Amino acid sequence: MKSEICEKIRTYFSQMSIYKDPEKTNSIFVGRNLPAFVKDFLLKRFMNVQTGNIDTIGLTEFLDNVIPANPGSVKDKIVSGQEVTLLARFIVYIDLVKGVKQFAIPDFGIKLSDGIIPEFTYKKHQGELVDGEKWGIVKLCLMEDNDGKKKHVNMVEYKPFKPYSSVDVSYLAEARRHFTTQEWIDVLLSAMEYDPDGFINITQKLEFISRLLIFAEPRLNVIELAPKGTGKSYVFGNLSKYGWLVSGGKVTRAKLFYDKTRQQNGIIKNHDFTVFDEIQTIEFQEPAEIQAALKSYLESGKTTIDNNEFSSECGLMLMGNIPLTEDRRPASLLYFNSLPKNFRESALLDRFHCFIEGWLLPRVDTSMIFKGWTINVEYFSEILHTMRTNNSYNLLFDQLVEFVGKADMRDSKAIKRIATGYMKLLFPHWQSVEDVNREEFEMYCLNPAVHRRGIIKEQCHNIDPEFKVGMPEIEIR
């Protein structure tokens, strides 16, 4: 990426900028498998904002204190009666029947049956310590139960991992005005930790950025089929604490939506997006029940599980591999044959909005990892999360676009959601109709939205000829 763009980032995102040096970073964090948003938070704390130099001694000492490289040492300290402070990923489970708030820290061997969140900690963070996965700084100690017969690990203090308590979309919008569209595309790629110069053309860049659509647009349902090694898992597992990556194993309706036995919501409830990675390796138990629940949820964001209505704004994504020819094109025109049999139903697949052609992307190698000044991942993910509830772009779309005639409702919804997502990513500075460049809107937002929805329709038609492939007629006002 050109040095001029890096300097622009330092100028207009001064407090949010960070210098990335992959070789040095890998050496500092060796033995600690941390997502990018945590690494950037730590680097910012120990980085000279003028030079980009890192206080490696200070950072290493901090890591040894709150993220020990030896997980077993944490349990040893707790058992010996010491208080331990950790920056960690933990899982909360609230047992409504017993009235107990439990937690587990899998990376340090603390099981759900070991950890208790006391009432004073829970009340202090009302609404934050809800069911699901969290990141935060926790202080732990060993406590005896009231009867003195058993001990448990107590979470005596908790600080949410949220370096940016709030982010200002208008600040982002104003900063965006200082970049050309081509420059901004490179900024987004560098924020994702990839070097824009590693992509051959604008097509590859836009295909890669399309993975961010589900970060910014609520209830957008996406399918991506791609060869191995194109960075799918990294993007969705490292760039945001608001997403959940399901990689292999068994998946049940209870795990996804609602567990009646535990009276606990599933992973879809408390996340911005849920991604099924390597979907061919995932075993869906009770596939008929899951399929029925998915159909309802994908359509309306709601479904009924054992007389309990479940609703969420979480987007769903299916990611799988697809066999390619020597020239890196799909070996078969029937793309959905690469999905598990339980998903090869046109009525289910038609409820997905967007298709990403992962075979257009390059295979990721070390030369594609970004080095230089860019926007730090924690700020980047937080701004995308905040944009999900910003409806100004939806309203702007309605002012710009008119569906002519009787447009299929699923098509019009899909096109609107995809195009709105692109506006949030590429043109956050479009605040009114007067701001909009019609040519860029058509090129970067509307046409890609029609194309990506069109692939879904075409592939549904291949499964069931009754599905029409025609797309709505659209006019830009």
Q: Is 157 exposed, middle or buried (0-12, 13-18, 19+ CB in 10 A)?
A: middle
> Could you give the CA distance from residue 446 to residue 451 in angstroms, rounded to a whole number?
9
Beta-strand relationship, 100-105 and 110-116: antiparallel
268 and 347 together in one domain:
yes
Write out the residue range of the structural domain in which residue 363 sits: 172-368
> Could you give the CA distance from residue 453 to residue 460 in angstroms, rounded to a whole number?
11
Say what the pLDDT of residue 288 is: 87
343 and 457 together in one domain:
no
On whether the CB atoms of residues 219 and 408 are closer than 8 A, the answer is no
Domain assignment present for residue 109? The answer is yes
Say what the pLDDT of residue 148 is: 66
Looking at residue 414, its amino acid is: A
pLDDT in tens, 373-389: 999 999 999 999 999 99
What total of structural domains would you count in the chain?
3
317 and 395 together in one domain:
no
237 and 215 together in one domain:
yes
Domain assignment present for residue 6? The answer is no
Beta-strand relationship, 264-265 and 354-357: unpaired
On whether the CB atoms of residues 221 and 268 are closer than 8 A, the answer is no
Best CA proximity match to 219, nearest among 413, 458, 350:
413
**Where are the extended beta strands (E) located within 285-336?**
302-305, 308-311, 315-320
Q: What is the CA radius of gyration of the chain?
A: 23
Mean per-residue pLDDT for 397-407?
92
pLDDT in tens, 333-360: 999 999 988 889 999 999 999 999 999 9
Looking at residue 417, its amino acid is: R
Say what the pLDDT of residue 147 is: 66
Q: Is 302 exposed, middle or buried (0-12, 13-18, 19+ CB in 10 A)?
A: exposed
214 and 323 together in one domain:
yes
Measuring CA to CA, how many Å separate 335 from each of 135, 149, 211, 319, 339? 37, 59, 18, 12, 8
Domain assignment present for residue 41? The answer is no
| Average pLDDT of the chain to the nearest whole number | 91
Q: Which of 51-55, 111-115, 127-131, 368-372 has the lowest mean pLDDT?
A: 127-131
Q: How far apart are the first and last CA of the chain?
A: 36
329 CB neighbour count, 10 Å cutoff? 11
199 and 285 together in one domain:
yes
> Could you give the CA distance from residue 129 to residue 117 in angstroms, rounded to a whole number?
9
- Residue that is last in its domain, among 368, 403, 438: 368
396 and 353 together in one domain:
no
CATH number at residue 271: 3.40.50.300
306 and 406 together in one domain:
no
pLDDT in tens, 92-151: 888 777 788 999 999 898 999 899 999 999 988 877 887 778 888 999 999 887 666 788
191 and 220 together in one domain:
yes
What the block records as the tokens of 386 is: 């905040």
DSSP summary character for residue 364: P
pTM of the shown model: 0.91
329 and 457 together in one domain:
no
425 and 360 together in one domain:
no
Q: Is the pLDDT of residue 170 over 90?
A: yes
Say what the pLDDT of residue 419 is: 98
215 and 97 together in one domain:
no
> Could you give the CA distance from residue 26 to residue 178 in angstroms, rounded to a whole number?
32
Q: What residues contact residue 141 under an 8 Å CB cut-off, 6+ apart? A: 78, 81, 82, 83, 84, 153, 154, 156
DSSP summary character for residue 259: E
Say what the pLDDT of residue 180 is: 97
Best CA proximity match to 429, nearest among 414, 417, 443, 440:
440
